[in-house]
């Protein structure tokens, strides 16, 4: 049985941090390609900045160009940045809603997950989770 804890506990956080950073690089490369493909002079100029832009400002940069194609990347970047922030705060791997540990398998599949499977399901349904019925 898993111990309920607000700590990162036994989780291999560096493992997930590596995954998140690799993902971030991937999205950044893709975002750059989207900008270059758009061909607009201003986008090309921004794409040049994407290469060495600070982590925090890439999503803002993409929002700025208001490119429909970039919206998926923007969301992904924000999710990754949020997850990295939770690592820094020491809350990574803990469900933001019920404060229970997020399933290891779920984090493995979705390193940016901020909710456990149950809470995510409830969240997607658009209404609050019922009290745990254990």
Question: Residues interacting with Zn ion, by CB under 5 A?
Answer: 95, 97-98, 116, 119
Nearest CB to Zn ion, comparing residues 27 and 95: 95
Nearest CB to Zn ion, comparing residues 35 and 116: 116
In the bound complex, what is the minimum distance in angstroms from residue 82's beta carbon to Zn ion? 16
Q: Report the alpha-carbon distance of residue 6 to residue 90 in Å, rounded.
A: 9
In the bound complex, what is the minimum distance in angstroms from residue 101's beta carbon to Zn ion? 9
In the bound complex, what is the minimum distance in angstroms from residue 99's beta carbon to Zn ion? 7
Q: Report the alpha-carbon distance of residue 106 to residue 19 in Å, rounded.
A: 14
Nearest CB to Zn ion, comparing residues 3 and 68: 3
Angle at 47 between CA 45 and CA 49, to 5 degrees: 80
Q: Report the alpha-carbon distance of residue 47 to residue 99 in Å, rounded.
A: 39
Q: Report the alpha-carbon distance of residue 56 to residue 78 in Å, rounded.
A: 9
């Amino acid at each position: 049985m898993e111990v309920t804890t607000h700590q990162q506990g036994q989780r291999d956080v560096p493992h997930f941090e590596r995954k998140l950073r690799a993902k971030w690089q991937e999205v950044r490369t893709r975002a750059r390609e989207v900008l270059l493909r758009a061909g607009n002079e201003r986008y090309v100029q921004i794409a040049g900045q994407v290469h060495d832009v600070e982590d925090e400002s890439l999503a803002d940069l993409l929002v700025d160009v208001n490119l429909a194609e970039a919206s998926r990347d923007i969301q992904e970047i924000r999710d990754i940045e949020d997850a990295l922030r939770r690592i820094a705060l020491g809350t990574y791997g803990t469900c933001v809603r019920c404060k229970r540990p997020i399933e290891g398998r779920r984090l493995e599949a979705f390193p940016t997950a901020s909710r456990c499977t149950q809470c995510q399901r409830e969240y997607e349904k658009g209404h609050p989770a019922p009290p745990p019925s254990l």
